[in-house]
Amino acid sequence: TKNIVILISGSGSNMAAIVQAAQQQDWHQAFGASISAVISNRPGAAGLEVAQSLGVATQVLDHRVFETRVAFDAALMQGIDRYQPALVVLAGFMRILTPGFVSHYAGRLINIHPSLLPAFTGLNTHQRAIDAGCAEAGCTVHQVTAELDHGPILAQAAVPVLPDDTADTLAARVLAQEHRLYPQAVRGWLQDQP
């Protein structure tokens, strides 16, 4: 089985979109793939209950109890590797990963970022796109490499920035595209696997 582990920190709406696509499109039958677990670094992440309600096992690994980023990432790797994943999916996972973590999952670690990369790496992407006067904003699915938000791009979706947009209205428009794009990109990744 091609196990998929999804990492979240918050509401987990992208995670839910991927799990629902996997269930509705029967990725087990189609690709021998299974969403094995959802892991959150935040004990209170709303996405944990969403995952449970979708029948996916959850795990919490609170980053605050670890002294260092390296120690947290080592524990996270242990938690993930129980599933021997073919793919690790970052879905609103709001932690910077160490180079050791990234290299351990080289070629099987992907992320979604709420901008049209290479524009607007980092945080507050929607406000920054509005402030810059961009006509378009969007989201990017990319492979994760050591440099934050810089890996090879797998898929992008664009939306218009409207004259009276706030960061919130723009974020909602982009998020709707994320929910379409991310499951499609994971599916594409599975299709390309031997």
Q: Which residues are part of a known binding site for (6R)-10-formyltetrahydrofolate?
A: 69, 94-97, 111
- Give the whole-angstrom CA distance, residue 115 versus residue 93: 15
Q: Judged by CB under 6 A, how many residues of this single chain contact ligand GAR?
A: 15
Binding mask 165-184 for ligand GAR (x = CB under 6 A): ----------x--x------
| 57-60 and 87-90 strand pairing | unpaired
Binding residues: 12-14, 69, 94-97, 111
Q: Is residue 79 part of the contact set for ligand GAR (CB under 6 A)? A: no
Half-sphere exposure of 163 (CA within 13 A, CB side): 0
Task: Work out the angle at residue 116's Cα, subtended by the Cα atoms of residues 113 and 119, and round it to the nearest 5 degrees.
Answer: 100
Examine residue 151 and tell whether it contacts ligand GAR (CB under 6 A).
no
- In the complex, what is the shortest distance from the CB of residue 171 to ligand GAR, in angstroms, rounded to a whole number? 7
Q: Kindly report the backbone phi and psi dihedral angles of residue 13, in degrees, each rounded to the nearest multiple of 5, phi listed first.
A: -70, -35
Contact pattern for ligand GAR over residues 89 through 128, marking x by CB under 6 A: --xx-------------------xxx--------------
Between 32 and 168, whose beta carbon lies closer to ligand GAR? 168
Residue in 114, 100, 106 with CA at minimum distance from that of residue 168: 114
Quick check: is 179 catalytic? no
Q: Does 76 bind ligand GAR (CB under 6 A)?
A: no
Residue 127 makes CB contacts below 8 A (sequence gap 6+) with 167
Residue 186 found at the interface with ligand GAR (CB under 6 A):
no
Encoded tokens for 101: 């973590």
38 lies in the binding site for ligand GAR (CB under 6 A): no
Cβ–Cβ < 8 Å for 162, 150: no
Catalytic residues: 113
